[in-house]
A and B are shown apart, each in its own frame.
Chain A
Amino acid sequence: MTRLLRRVARALLGVERPAVYYLPWLVRPGLECVLILSNLEARFKTGYNAGPFDIRVTQYDADGRLRAEHRTQLERSTDVVEMRLPSSETAWGFVTVDGERVRSDLYVTLSDGDAYAATHGRQEFVERYPIWSRAAMTVVGAPLAWVGRTVPAFVRHQYAYVGAESRSDLLLLNLSNVTNRVRVVRLAPARRASVLVRIPPMGSHLLDVSRLARPPARGTRVVPLRLEGNAWFNLYVVGAVRAAESAPLSLMHVK
């Protein structure tokens, strides 16, 4: 029933959902972010495994602005290209990857120079709203935001962790061309707390979960969260150490 309602709502709003492969990125001084690009999945697919394969990486920053466009080519399906994203400042966002039949698991890595952690991207879609439905969402969304609410068109649940030494922050990705107001609600412990995050079209937000739950003196606290957004969004978990701003980070996808 909910699925049918969503389909009807999308049709009424004129929403299109072009397929896209995306990966998060995150840089800061001392932290290197490198993408690993390949088309290994094609290597045993007769008729599809002969290169070259052109790949275009479009990098969006936290404000949703186009930060850079990178192009590369894989000569063979077994080739692997590493693409380093400049890291002179603290910044984050996501990239979309376009390449004919390149849909396999591409990686994003974060390194402190001595070691690295990695995760993969997702083959999904972005939502494209026509101008009139963007205007309608603005009209509806603004007064709701004033009272700390959003249109809960999409809901996700995610556990976050806040520890004495470490925590799992959330990198929220707005996978649409409308402003996405994402309300993050702490479901436990004790009474509910929430924050409302305004994410520009194709933008992202790095949410420090200690805003929602104070770190315990010892051990790690599990914080169940409910996330509501007015347009399509996804998230990555960012593993962070509490001690130092310059400490290494890890990234991880969720379903």
Chain B
Amino acid sequence: MSSSLSALLSATFAEPGYEHLVELIHQRDAAARRRLEALDVELYDARGGLLATRAVDPRQEVLDLGALVAEVLPSGGRALVLFDARYDERVFPYRPHHYAYLHRPASGDPPLYYAVNATLGGVPDRIGAPRLNNFETYLFRARRFAERYSLLLGSVARFAEVEARVSCYYAATSTTATVTLGPKRHAEIELALEHAGEPLTRVEVKALFRLATYVVGRRASSGSLVLFDHLFTYFK
């Protein structure tokens, strides 16, 4: 493998019981030249323990993460999933995007299609990884639904602990909590739907470096995922 290759570490979360198909490349051409050079997939539990690691054939276009998670987490739980990719930047001038299809069979809920977090590597000034702080925002609809919201936070660091400040904004008030994550640890932070009688309108996450960060919405009656989205980084 050439040392001139570029690297991208992407991250998502996976739970058993879902069809979860991850596109390892997004772009494709007629000659199918657009492929990765190498890809390792690692799954970690909430405490940062390594559950499984797999070397994936880089010619593969879509990974059945649902099948892998069913094998690794047969009794439930959730995994932080890291995709450690090497690629040729002449083939992927920006980066090889990873998108994913997520659907819970028999739930009646529509499938979700989402962009997998790019946490390290790629084009630095677009991803924001080398800067000292990371600041992400997400807005919610103001009316109440039979849905609960949370943040999935995971640390891709190898050695350092990281503190994340999670601020929830309501009409005129706000709350802030600090979450500390060790290397490869993750947590689901439930967001209070109301505070002082006001509905949740916005959440912000601040951390010293980029985390794996998703906003999720779960149908209150079933816990099924109906929202799985990245936050927005305005300041890099």
Contact = CB atoms under 8 A, between A and B. Distances in A.
B105 interface: yes
Contact of A224 (B28, B111, B112, B114): B28
Contacts of B62: 159, 222
B110 A109 contact: no
B19 A219 contact: yes
A226 B226 CA distance: 28
B206 to A, nearest CB: 13
A255 interface: yes
A120 B138 CA distance: 11
Give the interface SS of chain A, mostly helix, strand, loop or mixed: strand
B139 A40 contact: yes
B147 interface: yes
Interface in B96-136: 97, 99, 101, 103, 105-106, 108-115
What is the size category of the interface that chain A forms with chain B? 35 or more
A58 interface: no
B103 A220 contact: yes
A166 B109 CA distance: 9
Interface residues of B, number: 43
A102 B97 CA distance: 26
Contacts of B26: 157, 254-255
A117 B220 CA distance: 14
B195 interface: no
A107 B110 contact: no
Interface in B195-236: 201-202, 217, 219-221, 226-227, 229, 232, 234-235
A4 interface: no
A119 B229 contact: yes
A241 B145 contact: no
Nearest to A219: B19
B103 A82 contact: no
B35 to A, nearest CB: 13
Contacts of A190: none
Contact of B145 (A116, A226, A240): A116
A80 B139 contact: yes
A107 B139 contact: yes
B101 A220 contact: yes
Contacts of A250: 110-113, 226
Nearest to A38: B139
Interface of A: 34, 36, 38, 40-41, 44, 80, 82, 104-105, 107, 109, 111, 113-120, 157, 159, 161, 163, 165-168, 187, 219-220, 222, 224, 226, 237, 239-241, 243, 247-250, 252-255
